[in-house]
């Protein structure tokens, strides 16, 4: 099994500015030594390490960690894609054997249409040149703009992180579902079954999350879905019954509709291996 989405950080180092102290559950260092026993107990044999800071120093740190970890199979880093320095930076990062993708933190940018800026085009062309993928960290409101971007770049492999963070606690299923359906029509767009529990209320569990995962399965199919833990951010979930690594993995298996063994293998490993090319 492959975990398609997890994080490491050192508080106060490598320009790490998040999490902040009020997020006590995750306000400490998280490194391979912390993930390894959890992954081993869950039967997870590899992971995709994803950036959590808008920082070149953080991306360099993640690549150093990945070089020393057999568990980490791929790294998704950060580059200021609108910067004049983006092209040489991407060219340099692409030389690392575990570098596989980039993730601008779209969810926190002041302009929802930033992804459509012409200033990004040289960086996207360089990503394509080096076969790097694009992780889309977005909210539901970004879905129409991501669709325009994905249609503009049909050769760019794009994965929606955390299923676009649907407002599960507020019952935002219909708006989310329509937006995801429009994107699922594009063959270069994939989706991660991750981050859903942190969008749910404390009393919400299998019954409330299942419609979302079922919809994802019918929209994307197993060949474009991949499971991710979003560890250690997972620990912030209001429903503590599922907010540790092994319990979220078990819950995810029960959230799926009845699928074949081959489809289960895809969602819990093979899709991530194919998308991130390892």
pTM given for the model = 0.97
pLDDT per residue over 175-194, tens digit each?
A: 999 999 999 999 999 999 99
pLDDT per residue over 87-120, tens digit each?
A: 999 999 999 999 999 999 999 999 999 999 999 9
pLDDT band with cut points at 50, 70 and 90 for residue 239: very high
Tell me which long-range contacts 169-178 makes (C-beta under 8 A, separation of at least 24): 169/199, 169/200, 169/201, 169/204, 169/238, 172/140, 173/211, 173/212, 173/215, 175/140, 176/140, 176/212, 177/215
Taken as a whole, the chain contains a residue count of 278
pLDDT per residue over 246-262, tens digit each?
A: 999 999 999 999 999 99
């Amino acid at each position: 099994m492959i975990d398609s989405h997890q994080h490491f950080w050192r508080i106060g180092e490598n320009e790490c500015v998040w999490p902040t102290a009020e997020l006590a559950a995750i306000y400490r260092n998280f490194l391979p030594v912390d993930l390894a026993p959890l992954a081993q107990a869950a039967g997870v044999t590899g992971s995709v390490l994803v950036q959590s800071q808008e920082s070149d120093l953080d991306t360099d740190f993640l690549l150093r960690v990945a070089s020393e970890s057999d568990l980490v199979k791929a790294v998704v880093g950060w580059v200021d894609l609108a910067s004049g320095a983006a092209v040489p930076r991407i060219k340099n990062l692409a030389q690392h054997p575990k570098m596989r993708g980039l993730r601008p933190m779209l969810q926190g940018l002041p302009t929802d249409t930033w992804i459509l800026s012409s200033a990004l085009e040289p960086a996207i062309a360089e990503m394509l040149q080096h076969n790097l993928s694009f992780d889309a960290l977005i909210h539901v409101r970004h879905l129409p703009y991501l669709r325009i971007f994905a249609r503009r770049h049909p050769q760019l492999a794009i994965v929606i992180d955390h299923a676009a963070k649907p407002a599960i606690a507020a019952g935002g299923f219909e708006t989310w579902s329509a937006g995801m359906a429009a994107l699922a029509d594009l063959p270069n767009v994939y989706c991660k079954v991750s981050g859903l529990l942190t969008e749910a209320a404390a009393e919400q569990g299998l019954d409330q999350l299942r419609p979302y995962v079922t919809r994802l399965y019918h929209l994307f199919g197993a060949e474009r879905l991949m499971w991710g833990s979003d560890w250690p951010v997972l620990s912030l979930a209001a429903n503590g019954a599922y907010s540790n690594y092994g319990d979220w993995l078990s819950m995810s298996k029960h959230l799926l509709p009845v699928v074949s063994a081959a489809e289960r293998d895809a969602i819990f490993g093979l899709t991530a291996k194919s998308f991130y090319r390892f």
